């Protein structure tokens, strides 16, 4: 039973990683945000990226940043969680 839960968590973390990577790539391309797939990617990733983005914006270094580092930090957090498991 524990093995099933462990594999399910790892599987969900991997899906979240892929969704974040897809969102980063989508942000570089001139694709309409009205697409259902794009909306799904944003719905999956925004609950994790928004709090990280808020923390970065409140920090002294993040006030005038032109690049959003929240996906990179989110991926590092996911990798850290995966290593703990």
Note the pLDDT tens digit of each residue in 15-53: 999 999 999 999 999 988 888 999 999 999 999 999 999
Return all residues near 49 (Cβ < 8 A) that are at least 6 apart: 20, 23, 70, 71, 74
For the segment 49-79, what is each residue's pLDDT rounded down to a tens digit? Answer: 999 999 988 888 777 778 889 999 999 999 9
């Amino acid at each position: 039973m524990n093995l099933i839960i462990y594999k399910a968590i790892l599987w969900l973390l991997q899906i979240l990683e892929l969704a974040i990577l897809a969102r980063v790539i989508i942000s570089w391309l001139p694709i309409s945000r009205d697409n259902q797939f794009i909306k799904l990617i944003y719905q999956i990733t925004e609950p994790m990226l928004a709090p990280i983005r808020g923390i970065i914006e409140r920090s002294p270094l993040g006030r005038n940043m032109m690049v959003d580092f929240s996906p990179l930090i989110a991926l590092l957090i996911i990798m850290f969680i995966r290593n703990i498991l």
